[in-house]
Amino acid sequence: MNYCSHCGHTVRFAIPDGDDRPRYLCDACGAIHYQNPRIIAGTLPVAGKQVLLCRRAIAPRLGYWTLPAGFMENGETVEQAALRETREEACAVVESPSLYTMISLTHINQVYMIFRGTLQGGYAAGPESLDVELFDEADIPWDALAFPTIERTLRHFFDDRRRDRFELHSSEIGEKERERYFGSA
Amino acid sequence: MNYCSHCGHTVRFAIPDGDDRPRYLCDACGAIHYQNPRIIAGTLPVAGKQVLLCRRAIAPRLGYWTLPAGFMENGETVEQAALRETREEACAVVESPSLYTMISLTHINQVYMIFRGTLQGGYAAGPESLDVELFDEADIPWDALAFPTIERTLRHFFDDRRRDRFELHSSEIGEKERERYFGSA
Ligand SMILES: [Zn+2]
Ligand SMILES: [Zn+2]
């Protein structure tokens, strides 16, 4: 951030009075420009013993497999965002979604919220997907998953299914685990 | 948003190619300025039969009672944000926090994430609180709560406690329910 989005003046990065961390400040109009994490909402669509994955048609991680997920928009609930992304990327409907993994990515300021639910009816590749397919656990392309959040969600799912007990998993993915996927760049 | 925070040029509000909703666009540098909901993280500190509430020392809703909660910052997990706010507003520590209510406020683009946990040790009013007190269910100041998210979280808690079964509650609060608190302004 270089300029005040309100008045167009240059901003400086400093700790405001009474605050404890630096913000982008505008000395011209007095605006404080807070920056906050963004939510990525998605689903884990389950069909019998199988789960639905999408192969990405867009960067980043083009060609890699993911769960349908994307940035939550203003004006919708977290759940609505997850179902919208599922509709857009997999042309699919998920019933009875319940929050299943909440993963904070502290170094890139994202929070993943993935809802587990039952795939209802058909599916097809949306404009952001090359393929959409159902996978048995044995066939999951572990080495071709797009993001560590997806791997973690799938591992929780198959573990929980084995012990027949599903619960919300809340965790963090830091820089080290991301480097396994993306290198240190 | 009037000016591009990257290059300082004026922005326009229009649907980008390949998108389905309007964004703030900069024709000078090509930046698309997405706007997304923000997370408010907090806790429901439980001590035996009582819960901990804070009376707000700041606007909005100065003098009204709330749970310790505030905007999640970059660089922290949702849980860390909830515990930090509890420390700052109630000088209190909550053990074994687990996500308890997730409430989307679609008309103001906020998502509340309140963690239920056990109050550990003492408490005191932080700089943003006038008072911090423990309340029995019978003494909850229902007519002096700061936000509908707080009322909903407390009602879930006492209901769940009566049936001795706690679970994650995911819901939405729309404009109508907020008007009960704030009027239609
Ligand atoms: Zn300004
Ligand atoms: Zn620009």
Q: Where are the domains of chain A?
A: 1-35, 38-178
Strand A50-56 to A65-66 pairing: antiparallel
- Mean pLDDT across chain B: 96
Query: Helix B148-162 vs helix B175-182: angle between axes, to the nearest 10 degrees?
Result: 110
Span A19-64, pLDDT tens digits: 999 999 999 999 999 999 999 999 999 999 999 999 999 999 999 9
Q: Which residue in B8, B10, B37 is closest to A39 by CB distance?
A: B37
- Mean pLDDT across chain A: 96
Span B115-157, pLDDT tens digits: 999 999 999 999 999 999 999 999 999 999 999 999 999 999 9
pLDDT of A185 strictly over 80: no
Quote the tokens at residue B178. Answer: 């907020």
Would the CB atoms of B99 and A99 count as touching at under 8 Å? yes
Q: What is the pLDDT, as a whole number, of residue A184?
A: 53
User: d(Cα A82, Cα A71) in Å, to the nearest integer?
Assistant: 9
| Neighbour-count burial for B59-83, b at 16+ CB within 10 Å, e otherwise | eebeebbbbbbbebbeebbbbbbbb
Domain B38-182 has CATH 3.90.79.10: yes
- Reference A39, options A109, A100, A89, A98; nearest CA is A109
The topology (CATH level 3) of B1-35 is Ubiquitin Ligase Nedd4; Chain: W; (2.20.70)
> Ligand 1 mean position to B127 CA, how many Å?
28
User: d(Cα B157, Cα B180) in Å, to the nearest integer?
Assistant: 21
Quote the tokens at residue A160. Answer: 């929980």
What is the length of chain A?
A: 185
User: d(Cα A133, Cα A90) in Å, to the nearest integer?
Assistant: 9
The contact set of A with B (CB < 8 A) is 1-8, 10-11, 21, 24, 33-39, 71-80, 98-99, 102, 104, 106-107, 109, 111, 168, 170, 172
Q: What is the pLDDT, as a whole number, of residue B185?
A: 45
Q: Which residue in A1, A71, A106 is closest to B75 by CB distance?
A: A106
A127: left (phi over 0), alpha (psi -120 to 50) or beta: alpha
The topology (CATH level 3) of A38-178 is Nucleoside Triphosphate Pyrophosphohydrolase (3.90.79)
Would the CB atoms of A74 and B8 count as touching at under 8 Å? no
Quote the tokens at residue B39. Answer: 């997370």
3-state SS, residue B72:
coil
> Ligand 2 mean position to A88 CA, how many Å?
29
Q: Radius of gyration over alpha carbons of chain A, in Å?
A: 19
Q: Which residue in A4, A73, A170 is closest to B99 by CB distance?
A: A170
Q: What is the pLDDT, as a whole number, of residue A176?
A: 84
